[in-house]
Each structure stands twice: as C-alpha cells, then as structure tokens.
Amino acid sequence: MISNSEALDILQQADLIRTEHEVNGAVAGVAAAVNAALADVHPLVLSVMGGAVVFTGQLLPLLNFPLDFDYVHVSRYGSNRQGGELHWKVEPRENVRGRVVLVVDDILDEGETLAAIKQRVLELGAAGFYSAVFADKLIGRPKAMRADFVGMELPDRFVFGFGMDIHGAWRNLPAIYAVKE
C-alpha cells in the first residue's frame, strides 16, 4: 500500500493511454460479442477478483440473457509489477460441473493465470469454457492462452485504472493510464 500523496504523484506523472470513452466502447463491444455467443446457454460467469471487479460490474448489466454468477480469486502479482507464482485465494467451486463457464478478467498479460483457471474449471467438469478480458497486453511473444472476447489491446507497459491497480491504488479510475517509461 502506498500513501495518498504517492498515489497522486504516480497518477500525475502517468500517461493517459485510453480515455473513459474508449473504455466504455470496449466494454460495450465485449458485451455484444458475448451476447451473440452465449445467449442460449445460461452460463456461469466467474469474475476474477480483484482486478476484474470493475469490468465485471459494467459488463453484466449489458448481457441480455440469464446467467449465474460466482467468482474466483487468484493472483500472480500481489504487490509486484511482474508475475510470479500462482496463488489461489478462492478456487472455482463444484458449481461449474456440467456448465458453460465464462471467466471475466481484467487483463491478459502472459496468459498464465487465465490458463490455470481454465485448466481448473475443466478439471471440475465444466461443459465449456469461454474467457473475456477487458484488455490484451501486446507483449510481443506467445502467450499461454488467448481470450475468446477482448475489449481492447494495450501496449506492453505497466498499466492501471478500470480495475487494474498500481501498488493497490487507482483501480477506481474510469480510464487507462501507463507508468511513465
């Protein structure tokens, strides 16, 4: 956790890379694609805490079909800027058995976390697996997996806002910022 003044300094020095308008358009685009693909299957939506909470909260009201909701909590980052060992805080529950599952996450970096969630959900007997990410980071190398639905692509920089944090701060921003290089 950082102090209020440190958080304000980070934001003041950061680059705005996607506006609130662009963010809202990306969410609407994902919703349209998910509506087209999953309207007839009554999926179980699993939100990946805590980064996906903002994306999930704005996506769900735009989905025009019945669904069930739950969450998982897994992280490779903690307070670090680079991914490390996978830590499950809340694993998928048995309620995935026989269900089509849509996992909603904030950002796809290397794809390791999403791949681990997919593996676990399928091990628990899900009938199908889809993934929606708000952002796909362009890292310039192969990823462990690709998402089925992507809101927007982001450069390979440390980004924050719209659910993504920097040292625990700024998940609440409606736009996307990147740390100065």
**Active-site annotation, residues:** 109
Say if residues 100 and 44 touch (Cβ distance below 8 Å): yes
CA distance 84 to 122: 23
The CA–CA distances, whole Å, from 132 to 27, 48, 179 equal 10, 11, 25
Residues 6+ apart with CB under 8 A from 23: 151, 152, 162, 174, 175, 176
